[in-house]
Chain A
Amino acid sequence: MIRFPRRKSAGSAMKDESRAPSAVPEGDDAGLLVLIARAGADGMGPLPTDGERLRLLAGSHVEALAGRCVQCGICSYNCPVGIDVRSYSRRALPVLESHCILCGECVARCPRGVLRFHRPEGAA
């Protein structure tokens, strides 16, 4: 069985449980879970652990999945450094903005799973 450990997320009326970190493979499902982990490494994955954060800060950025963004503005509203994340997201452009501190607020709070951290080559 797939196990997705729960992680408290911010900002929604109903508890949003879609942000779980990837699970530890166990038993028969190890094959599937390794594949899910691979899909996670492909970028569509969970938020970084603290250990990964240094690597991401060195070489990552926030990117948007085209077609999912409805321009609701939650990303821009929650950016602590005032980046208009929506303007990048709606055009499916990466947030290549030197002020971005990769805090992950926009990624966590997007209600439609539009935003994710770009995983640089070689990063786990």
Chain B
Amino acid sequence: MRRYVVVGTGIAGLSACEAIREHDATGRITLVGDEAHPFYSRPGLAYLLTGSVPERGLWVRTPAEVEAIGLTRLHARAASLDPAARTLALEDGRTLAYDRLLLATGAASVPPSFPGAELRGVMQLDGLDQARALLRAARRGARAVVVGGGSTALEIVEGLHARGVHVHYFLRGDRYWSKVLDPVESSIVEDRLERDGVRLHRQTEVRAAVGRGGALEAVETADGERVPCTLLAVAVGIRPRLELARDAGIGVDRGIMVGETLATDAADVFAAGDVAQVLDPATGRAELDALWASALDMGRHAGLAMADAAVPYRKAVPMNVTRLAGLVTTVIGAVGGGKDPDLVTMTRGQSEGWDGRGATLAVDERHGPDRVRVMLDERAVAGALVMGSQLLSAPLVRLAAERTDVSPIRAELAALSPDAALARLIAFHDERHGGRAAAR
């Protein structure tokens, strides 16, 4: 009877357990995780903060479904891994022997490095416990400062704002999420935030957090300004939790290095999810994704490989849908790549695959809050961003995901106005995929 050990209770770990059980009815699956609450939607924490969903809505499996997997769950933290002996030591002293082991430990927020970071009231958002802490601290009328970038910073801004907190969002640079959005898109988001009552401070940086009796009272900016606040949220990026692998001598770079079976360079040790850095044979690049869909896919493929039912994992063109200042925003492929002074590393809900490369033509249009931007290289749609109305999202995502050869109309697109070029691109998609033309 094979012994499987899975470290990490996020969607990668869960997907792996389910895939293993599909192909191994009798193997023993032991799931180790340091979170008290397994199997919840981490992206859904944004909506817990705004009040759109209660905690009980976040569990992604019913108790019966978890029961059906047939696993032993240990609420514990892994301490060290011995690949030669095939054992995992836990912090509480127990040791687990394994035949196959998966590291699905995810990523953790880069901690703040300024003085005062240890004060009560300085917070981050990685999981349910911290979301609860943010909610406890979010009293109506209280003042909060948020620093950082990407979707996580905005989730905190919107969540606190929804609870009646006076939110001051500090941008170190000139605009929001310059790593992924272009200046037009940043301004759409910023305008909506300000219109809604969030205070934006550009070119503003926290130099120190100050407090009394161990509790936060204010932040001091690099310009010497003192901003009173009782809550300071920091979301400057995440780092894969790869210490177990690194300390065991397993190959790591920015994440744990894996190939198409999600196997590491240690026998019978696999990695999946935010912690894994997968080599894409098509591009020769190994990039990190901090995306729910990627983690789910990786976890599944790792589980299949562990159960001797391996299917090669092929990285999809990274895609995510998020909500920025109330606008549904779809991002796929290479749309970004600028420097971002608000992020040390990428945030959750982002991918290194979004860094723009080789784009030779941009087609973009904006109508009020609705924004479409398509990045084309010589052959295909390299990336696309659809903000607001999602009417054009499905066809553009399909063109980007399948890397459809649009070179027959490439020259035409370059010569048309943006509206006409988008129409031509959608028509091109419809011709290939038989979009049903219903008269309106």
Q: Pick the contact of A112: B51, B323, B423, B430 (CB < 8 A).
A: B323
B323 engages A38 (CB within 8 Å): no
Q: A37-78 vs B: 1/0 string, CB under 8 Å?
A: 111111111100000000000000000010110111110110
Point out the residues of chain A lying under 8 angstroms from B59, CB to CB: 73
Residue of B nearest to A114 (CB): B321
A76-B43 Cα distance, complex, nearest whole Å: 16
- Residue of B whose beta carbon sits closest to that of A70: B43
Q: A35-B427, A74-B57 are in contact. Are A4 and B392 (CB under 8 A)?
A: no
Closest to A34 in B: B440
Least CB distance, B207 to chain A, in whole angstroms: 30
A101 to B187 Cα, complex, angstroms: 40
A48 CA to B273 CA in the complex, in Å?
38
Give B203-246 as 1s and 0s: 1 = Cβ < 8 Å from A's Cβ atoms. Answer: 00000000000000000000000000000000000000000000
Assess the A113–B52 pair: CB atoms within 8 A: no
Q: Which of A17, A41, A111 contacts B47 (CB 8 A)?
A: A111
Residues in chain A near residue B330, CB distance under 8 A: 68, 113
Residue pair B419, A29 in contact (C-beta under 8 Å): yes
Q: Does B307 contact A (CB under 8 A)?
A: no
Interface residues on B, range: 35 or more
Q: Does B319 count as interface, using CB distance less than 8 angstroms?
A: yes
Q: CA of A58 to CA of B393 in the docked complex: distance in angstroms? A: 27
- Report the Cα distance A44→B438, complex, angstroms: 13
- Which of A18, A67, A84 lies in contact with B327, CB distance below 8 A? A18
A84 vs B316: C-alpha distance when bound (angstroms): 28
Minimum CB–CB distance for A47 against chain B, Å:
12
Interface residues of B in 29-58 (CB under 8 A from A): 41, 43-44, 46-47, 50-54, 57-58
CB of B57 within 8 A of CB of A73, answer: yes
Q: Chain B nearest CB: distance from A98 CB in Å?
A: 20
Contacts of A103 in B (CB 8 A): none
Distance in angstroms between the alpha carbons of A109 and B365 in the assembled complex: 26
The one of B196, B370, B427, B436 that contacts A121, using a Cβ cutoff of 8 Å: B436
Please list the residues of chain B having a beta carbon within 8 angstroms of any beta carbon in chain A.
11, 41, 43-44, 46-47, 50-54, 57-60, 62, 158-159, 161-162, 192, 196, 292-293, 316, 319, 321-323, 325-328, 330, 365, 367-370, 388-395, 419-420, 422-423, 426-427, 430, 435-440
Show the binding face of A for B, using Cβ within 8 Å.
1-4, 11-18, 20, 22, 29, 31-32, 34-46, 65, 67-68, 70-74, 76-77, 84, 86, 90, 109, 111-114, 119, 121-124
